[in-house]
């Protein structure tokens, strides 16, 4: 298995569509951070841990200690529908309330497993329902004993 996969990059602004409305904002990783994902062949939903730097690009402290700790996440990895070519994108939803936006902050992630392939939805309700299922599945997976050590992975900053 290719896991863990380490990712790191500055959070990019997207179209701001859907995410916050669906109750599931996703922080977009830049294309340059994605080569390590070439070890997986499946697009779809993954789970793992993520950590956002508390500092913005100007070095200003924006996030609290808790908001910038290592937190459970679900990641959508797939084709951006905006691009007709095979343009892959990775977007991470952190399963914790973060009160401010963190565009431009460095985000690190450890991808630990695969949940499901990309699906087409006929209704927004069906999509929201599936996202809720993904979050529950990810939480249950990450509770397992064997995963706890990844919170302390040297890829992440010191957890105080």
**According to CB under 6 A, which one of 9, 28, 69, 131 is a site residue for ligand ADP?**
28
Site for ligand ADP in 30-69 (CB under 6 A): none
C-beta nearest to Mg ion: residue? 26
Annotation marks residue 132 as catalytic: no
**According to CB under 5 A, which one of 4, 24, 26, 48 is a site residue for Mg ion?**
26
The binding track of 3-22 with respect to ligand ADP, each residue x by CB under 6 A or -, is --------x-xxxx--xx--
Judged by CB under 6 A, does residue 108 bind ligand ADP?
A: no
Judged by CB under 5 A, does residue 113 bind Mg ion?
A: no
**CB 145, min distance to ligand ADP, A:** 25
Q: Residue 38 burial (CB < 10 Å; 0-12/13-18/19+)?
A: exposed
**According to CB under 6 A, which one of 4, 5, 9, 27 is a site residue for ligand ADP?**
27
What is the rounded CA–CA span in Å between residue 86 and residue 23?
Answer: 27
What is the rounded CA–CA span in Å between residue 11 and residue 13?
Answer: 7
Question: By C-alpha distance, which of 155, 107, 135 is closest to 3?
Answer: 155
Residue 67 touches which of Mg ion, ligand ADP, none (Cβ within 5-8 Å per kind): none
Angle at 65 between CA 60 and CA 71, to 5 degrees: 115
Binding piece for Mg ion, criterion CB under 5 A, among 8-16, 39-47, 73-81, 144-152: 8-16
Question: Bridge-partner residues for 91, per DSSP?
Answer: 28, 76
User: Order of strands, edge to edge, in the sheet holding 27-28?
Assistant: 5-10, 106-116, 44-52, 71-79, 88-94, 27-28
For Mg ion, the binding residues (CB under 5 A) are 14, 19, 26, 91
């Amino acid at each position: 298995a290719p896991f863990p996969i380490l990712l790191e990059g500055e959070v990019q602004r997207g179209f701001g569509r859907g995410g916050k409305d669906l109750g599931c904002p996703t922080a977009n990783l830049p294309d340059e951070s994605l080569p390590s994902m070439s070890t997986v062949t499946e697009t779809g939903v993954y789970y793992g841990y993520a950590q956002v730097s508390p500092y913005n690009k100007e070095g200003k402290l924006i996030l609290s200690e808790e908001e910038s700790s290592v937190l459970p996440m679900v990641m959508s990895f797939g084709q951006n529908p905006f691009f007709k070519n095979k343009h892959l994108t990775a977007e991470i939803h952190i399963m914790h309330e973060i009160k401010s936006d963190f565009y431009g902050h460095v985000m690190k992630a450890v991808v630990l497993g695969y949940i499901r392939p990309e699906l087409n939805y006929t209704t927004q309700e069906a999509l929201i329902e599936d996202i809720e299922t993904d979050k529950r599945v990810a939480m249950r997976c990450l509770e397992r004993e064997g995963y706890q050590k990844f919170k302390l992975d040297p890829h992440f900053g010191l957890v105080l």
